[in-house]
Amino acid sequence: MSGMPIVGGVGQAEWARDLAEDLLATALPRRWAHTQGVAQRAASLTPVLGEETDTLIAAAYLHDIGYAPNLVETGFHPLDGARYLRDVIKADDRLCRLVAHHSCAVNEALNRNLFEALTSEFDEERPELVEALTYCDMTTGPDGIHLDVTERLAEIHSRYGPEHLVSRSITTSTPCILAAVRSVEAALSARA
């Protein structure tokens, strides 16, 4: 596989792309545009992640499938998506964990009284991958366009409004999100 373009290679990424497209493209086209942007960001991390980039791209495609109307259960998309991957798709554990914990999801889980469920059902994946997925999600806007992390955070606040549980959770998660973005940027510049 080395030397091959990872996005075009046969691996989890392609499989995940097809699954996410089925779940999101028609039902939630804007979410699908965002998802594709996040996957592109993931592909750009090959210099940092090497062969693990395929796993990251797959997780990027799957991170928001919990919004798909026919798999919503709790309404907390990281948990709904991860449970669907685990129980219905029988996906790789690493993908389930990455989806469950993407973009510092524990803070929103606390606000939704789902912290126990999230953390007892899904362990954390190793920090480099968790941070990489958070970086990709938090530097991609809702239409899939690359945004600076501060623009992305502002966009979430304005989309949901100041009192919304998602906005409050994002405020709590901001240090975690900024730390993830800084860590990935540092790793990228160290390899540039």
**Footprint of Fe ion on this chain (CB under 5 A)?**
64
Q: Least distance from C-beta 94 to Fe ion, angstroms?
A: 17
Which of 49, 136 has the CB closer to Fe ion? 136
Q: Least distance from C-beta 24 to Fe ion, angstroms?
A: 12
Q: Least distance from C-beta 153 to Fe ion, angstroms?
A: 14
Which of 9, 178 has the CB closer to Fe ion? 178
Which of 48, 133 has the CB closer to Fe ion? 133
Q: Which of 123, 126, 132 is nearest to 177 (CA)?
A: 132
Which of 64, 80 has the CB closer to Fe ion? 64
Which of 64, 131 has the CB closer to Fe ion? 64
Torsion of CA 73, 108, 81, 49, to 10 degrees: 180
Rounded Cα distance, 146 and 117, in Å: 32
- Measured from each CB, the residue nearest to Fe ion is 64
Q: Least distance from C-beta 67 to Fe ion, angstroms?
A: 8
Q: What is the DSSP string of 44-104?
A: TTHHHHGGGHHHHHHHHHHTTGGGSGGG-SSS-HHHHHHHIIIIII---HHHHHHHHTTTT
Q: Least distance from C-beta 74 to Fe ion, angstroms?
A: 14
DSSP lists the bridge partners of residue 172 as none
Give, in order, the Cα–Cα distances in Å from 71 to each of 67, 100, 167, 186, 189: 7, 14, 23, 37, 39
